Amino acid sequence: MISTPGIVLHTTPYGDSSVIVKVFTRMLGVRSYIVKGVRGRNAKVKQNLLQPLSSLDMVVYDNPKAELNYIKELSPRAVGTDASPVENALRFFMTEVLYKSLQEAEPMPALFDYVDSINSSLIIHHSSLPITFLLTVSRHLGIEPLDNYCPREALFDLQEGRYVSSATETTLSPSQSEMLHEYLASHELSNGAPLQSRRALIDSLLAYYQLHLSGFRNFTSHEILHTILK
């Protein structure tokens, strides 16, 4: 048995009253667990504990050879509060990025700590969080865009992952390329960056993920995010 904090990524109904929950744990990386007694009138575990990006303290059984393990104990790491539509949209977005980009592999404690740290302060960071989040996760996954921007190589190529001199089918526009460079260099955008430009950069970074991660497909939560973040 191992004690570890974890962040919920996805749940799937299993049997009459159980669920399979995929959790990003600090100690073990991404793991899938069966949680019994979740569904039904007399549920032992409240389903609100297993909402996207819920932060848990867990005691788990860990057999590395098993596809599914069991959670012996779980409890919330923080008292839940009513979330705003913006917070909910951001959490669904972050959860989908993690769920579709992380594999059940080795632990990534630095990435876990980053996600855990911003999970409790989403509103503070909301204006630029989607872009920051995508670029930070890409760095932990080893696919961070290379910022080799210069006057001769001023177009970012999504396929190459770097700035190039000539336009191709996968290069960003000059304005988007410059915006990405600005963000990679300073980790923030100027206050005058138009909302439509921010949305376009989010969409471009999602396309970048699709090109560089084989399992990153059918992403949907950014549409809700675009509607709510005005």
Q: What pLDDT, in 10s, does the model give residues 148-177?
A: 999 999 999 999 999 999 999 999 999 999
Q: Give the model's confidence band at 17: pLDDT under 50 very low, under 70 low, under 90 confident, else very high.
A: confident
Size of the chain in residues:
230
User: Is 219:213 a contact under the CB 8 Å cutoff?
Assistant: no
Number of structural domains found in the chain: 2
Q: Report the half-sphere exposure of 103 (CA within 13 A, side-chain side).
A: 7
CATH number of the domain to which 97 belongs: 1.20.1440
Question: Does 91 share its domain with 203?
Answer: yes
Which residues have CB under 8 Å from 206's CB, separation 6+? 134, 219, 222
Same domain, 71 and 118: no
Residues 117, 223: one domain? yes
Dihedrals phi, psi of 21, to nearest 5 degrees: -115, 130
Q: Looking at the structure, do residues 41 and 65 belong to the same domain, yes or no?
A: yes
Strand partners, 22: 10, 32
Q: Is the same domain home to 111 and 192? A: yes
The whole-angstrom separation of Cα 230 and Cα 217 is: 26
Name the pTM for this structure.
0.90
pLDDT of residue 190: 57
Lowest mean pLDDT among 2-6, 141-145, 190-194, 226-230: 190-194
**Does 222 lie in the same domain as 109?**
yes
pLDDT band at 26 (very low <50, low <70, confident <90, very high): very high
Burial class of residue 23, CB neighbours in 10 A (0-12, 13-18, 19+): buried
60 and 158: one domain?
Answer: no
Beta bridge partners of 12: 20
For residue 107, what are its two tokens?
Answer: 């632990």
**Is residue 33 a contact partner of residue 70, using CB atoms and an 8 Å limit?**
yes
pLDDT tens across 109-142, in order?
A: 999 999 998 887 665 556 678 898 999 999 999 9
Strand partners, 163: 156
Q: Which of 24, 59, 76 is the last residue of a domain?
A: 76
Residue-wise pLDDT for 196-227, tens only, equals: 888 899 999 999 999 999 889 889 888 877 77
| The last residue of a domain, from among 24, 41, 76 | 76
Taking the CA atoms of 200, 162, 189 and 150 in sequence, report the sign of the dihedral they define. Answer: negative
Could you tell me if 149 and 163 are in contact, meaning their C-beta atoms sit under 8 angstroms apart? Answer: yes
Q: Are residues 124 and 202 in the same domain?
A: yes
Q: Is the pLDDT of residue 44 over 80?
A: no
Residues 57 and 166 in one domain: no
| Same domain, residue pair 66 and 174 | no
Domain encompassing residue 180: 85-228
- Please list, in sequence order, all residues whose beta carbon lies within 8 angstroms of the beta carbon of residue 42, skipping any fewer than 6 positions away: none
pLDDT at position 172 is: 97
Residue 49 CA to residue 75 CA, distance in Å, equals: 8
Question: At 180, which amino acid appears?
Answer: L
